[in-house]
Amino acid sequence: MADLKINLSEKDIPQKWYNVASDLPFKLPPPINPGTGKPLEKKDLRQIFPLSLIEQEMSEERWIEIPDEVTDILRIWRPTTLKRAVHLEKALKTKCRIYYKDESASPTGSHKTNTAIAQVYYNKKEGIKRLTTETGAGQWGSALSFACNIFGLKCRVYMVKVSYEQKPFRKSLMRMWQAEVVASPSTLTESGKKILKEDPNCQGSLGIAISEAVEDAAKDKATNYCLGSVLNHVLLHQTVIGLEAKKQLALAGETPDFLVGCVGGGSNFGGLIHPFVKDKLKKDSLRIIAVEPFACPSLTRGKYEYDFGDTASLTPLIKMFTLGHNFIPAGIHAGGLRYHGCSPLISALHDKKIIEARAYNQLDVFEAAVLFAKTEGIVPAPETAHAIKAVIEIAKSEKQGKCIVFNFSGHGFLDLASYDKFFNGELKNYSHPLKEIRAALKNLPKI
Ligand X SMILES: *Cc1c(COP(=O)(O)O)cnc(C)c1O
With CB under 6 A as the contact rule, the residue among 56, 119, 132, 139 that binds ligand X is 139
Tell me which residue has its CB nearest to ligand X.
Answer: 410
Is 329 one of the binding residues for ligand X (CB under 6 A)? no
Q: How many CB atoms lie under 10 A from the CB of residue 77?
A: 16
Tell me which stretch binds ligand X (CB under 6 A): 35-43, 156-164, 262-270, 350-358. 262-270
Q: Which amino acid is at 286?
A: L
DSSP 377-429: -PPBPHHHHHHHHHHHHHHHH-TT--EEEEEE-BB-GGGHHHHHHHHTT----
Beta-strand ranges (E) seen in 281-316 are: 287-293, 303-308
Is 302 one of the binding residues for ligand X (CB under 6 A)? no
Is 381 one of the binding residues for ligand X (CB under 6 A)? yes
Is 268 one of the binding residues for ligand X (CB under 6 A)? yes
Shortest separation between residue 110's beta carbon and ligand X, angstroms: 4
Shortest separation between residue 232's beta carbon and ligand X, angstroms: 12
Cβ closest to ligand X, residue 229 vs residue 322:
229
Is 267 one of the binding residues for ligand X (CB under 6 A)? yes
Pick out residues in 382-441 that bind ligand X (CB under 6 A): 383-384, 409-410
Shortest separation between residue 152's beta carbon and ligand X, angstroms: 24
Tell me which stretch binds ligand X (CB under 6 A): 82-90, 165-173, 377-385, 417-425. 377-385
Cβ closest to ligand X, residue 232 vs residue 268:
268
Q: How many residues bind ligand X (CB under 6 A)?
A: 20
Shortest separation between residue 127's beta carbon and ligand X, angstroms: 28
Tell me which stretch binds ligand X (CB under 6 A): 59-67, 165-173, 263-271, 309-317. 263-271
Cβ closest to ligand X, residue 12 vs residue 77:
77
H/E stretch holding 82: strand 82-84
Q: How many CB atoms lie under 10 A from the CB of residue 197?
A: 10
Tell me which stretch binds ligand X (CB under 6 A): 16-24, 256-264, 321-329, 397-405. 256-264
Largest Cα–Cα distance of the chain, in whole Å?
Answer: 64
Is 311 one of the binding residues for ligand X (CB under 6 A)? no
Residues 195 and 311 sit within 8 Å (Cβ to Cβ):
yes
Shortest separation between residue 237's beta carbon and ligand X, angstroms: 11
- Please tell me the distance from the alpha carbon of residue 232 to that of residue 226, in angstroms, as a whole number: 13
Is 141 one of the binding residues for ligand X (CB under 6 A)? no
Burial readout 214-246 (b: 16 or more C-beta within 10 A, e: otherwise) = bbbbeeeeebbbbbbbbbbbbbbbbbbbbbbbb
Cβ closest to ligand X, residue 265 vs residue 275:
265
Which neighbouring-strand residues pair with 305? Answer: 320
With CB under 6 A as the contact rule, the residue among 19, 80, 106, 110 that binds ligand X is 110
Is 185 one of the binding residues for ligand X (CB under 6 A)? no
- Please tell me the distance from the alpha carbon of residue 283 to that of residue 294, in angstroms, as a whole number: 30
Tell me which stretch binds ligand X (CB under 6 A): 41-49, 68-76, 367-375, 376-384. 376-384
With CB under 6 A as the contact rule, the residue among 192, 242, 266, 344 that binds ligand X is 266
Shortest separation between residue 336's beta carbon and ligand X, angstroms: 3
H/E stretch holding 298: helix 298-301
Q: Which amino acid is at 227?
A: L
Q: 3-class SS at 126?
A: coil
First-to-last alpha carbon distance for the chain, in angstroms, is 59
Is 263 one of the binding residues for ligand X (CB under 6 A)? yes
Distance, CA of 421 to chain centre: 24
Distance set, CA 24 to CA 64, 268, 349, 351 (Å): 16, 19, 9, 13
- Residue 28 CA neighbour count, 13 Å, CB half: 26
Is 264 one of the binding residues for ligand X (CB under 6 A)? yes
With CB under 6 A as the contact rule, the residue among 96, 314, 337, 349 that binds ligand X is 337
With CB under 6 A as the contact rule, the residue among 84, 112, 319, 338 that binds ligand X is 112
Tell me which stretch binds ligand X (CB under 6 A): 14-22, 48-56, 259-267, 354-362. 259-267
- Please tell me the distance from the alpha carbon of residue 321 to that of residue 367, in angstroms, as a whole number: 28
Residues 158 and 134 sit within 8 Å (Cβ to Cβ):
yes
Shortest separation between residue 134's beta carbon and ligand X, angstroms: 11
Cβ closest to ligand X, residue 97 vs residue 167:
167
Binding-site string for ligand X from residue 224 to residue 243, where x marks contact by CB under 6 A and - marks none = -----x--------------
Residues 427 and 122 sit within 8 Å (Cβ to Cβ):
no
- Please tell me the distance from the alpha carbon of residue 142 to that of residue 39, in angstroms, as a whole number: 33
Cβ closest to ligand X, residue 44 vs residue 206:
206
**Contacts to ligand X by CB under 6 A:** 110, 112, 139-140, 229, 262-269, 336-337, 381, 383-384, 409-410
